[in-house]
Amino acid sequence: MSNIAVVANTEKFFKKDARKLRESLAAAGFEDVQWVDVKKGSESKPAAAKAAKRGVATVVICGGDGSVRAASEGLVGTSTALAVVPAGTANLFASGLELPTDIDEIVDVIVHGDRRSIDTALCNGQTFNVMAGVGFDVAMLSDAEDQKEKLGTFAYVGAAVRETRKRKMFDAKVTVDGNAFYDGPASCVLVGNTGSLKGGLKAFPDASATDGRLHVAVFTAVGMRQWANLVLTAALRKQEWSGKSEIGVGTEISVKFKSKRRFELDGGVKGKAKKLDFEIRPRSLVVCVPPQ
């Protein structure tokens, strides 16, 4: 058995895990596995695209959500399937699709699992799979960056606490499918393809990776108490109870600001923009998933 490629982010996927994956693939009968090591998540895109162009049936991406996002960008619109070996601190893509994390189980999914076509999304021309955001979440991610390798999830918790104390509102104008949705001050704007956040929270309880829609939330919470209440209602999947969120759905979403603001895609800060244009691409990425 052959026709498989592995793209491994060596900053996230360590030698002992690479050794385990090689052994598990060999035991499953895979021969002549094409193995590419990359040092940055962004390098996963050309590596995955090159493998798809060669006709590889499955690309196994080993890394965090940034590596998965980049690899998927290289595979969108092709028949090559994406398999994920989660590494790093977040792995929202893997948890949102209920993908296994054990290497032997992942290889078993590659061999015996299903191939599922899921939606992907675009933000100003860049692919994302899970969620994009502006405001509170970007500040939290930036704050946690230096500590996340050492502290893991706790780095995000600490960053979130700090940000709730100091984060200020900004003006946002949001349209959904060409219709006015929100115009006013916000502390965070999220646009999601799937609904999952870290820790099992659901930003968008009704979202799925195959519904052909984008989901948008505008949050107006400020201060520790309001954000804590918002998190509690999210845990109950009743965000509307907080009185601090507006949630909508569509296929094209536009978010405008008075000045350039930082934005994130799947947990990675991508730069600044004064306007963000989103669109959904239904069933555009093939993913290896457990049998349904």
Label residue 237 by pLDDT band (50, 70, 90): low
Question: pTM for this one?
Answer: 0.84
Rounded Cα distance, 44 and 81, in Å: 14
Q: In this structure, which amino acid lies at residue 58? A: T
Q: How many other CB atoms sit within 10 Å of the CB of residue 71? A: 32
Alpha carbon 119 to its chain centroid, in Å, reads 12
Q: Quick one: pLDDT band at residue 163, thresholds 50, 70, 90? A: very low
- Answer whether residue 153 shows pLDDT above 80: no
Q: Mean pLDDT in the chain?
A: 84
Evaluated on CA atoms 226, 155, 137, 90, the torsion sign reads negative
pLDDT of residue 95: 84
What are the b/e assignments for 160-186, b being 16+ CB within 10 Å?
beebbeebeebebbbbbeeeebbeeeb
DSSP assigned state of 228: H
- What is residue 245's predicted lDDT score, i.e. its pLDDT? 75
**Tokens standing for residue 43:** 């390098």
Contact between 267 and 92 under an 8 Å Cβ cutoff? The reply is yes
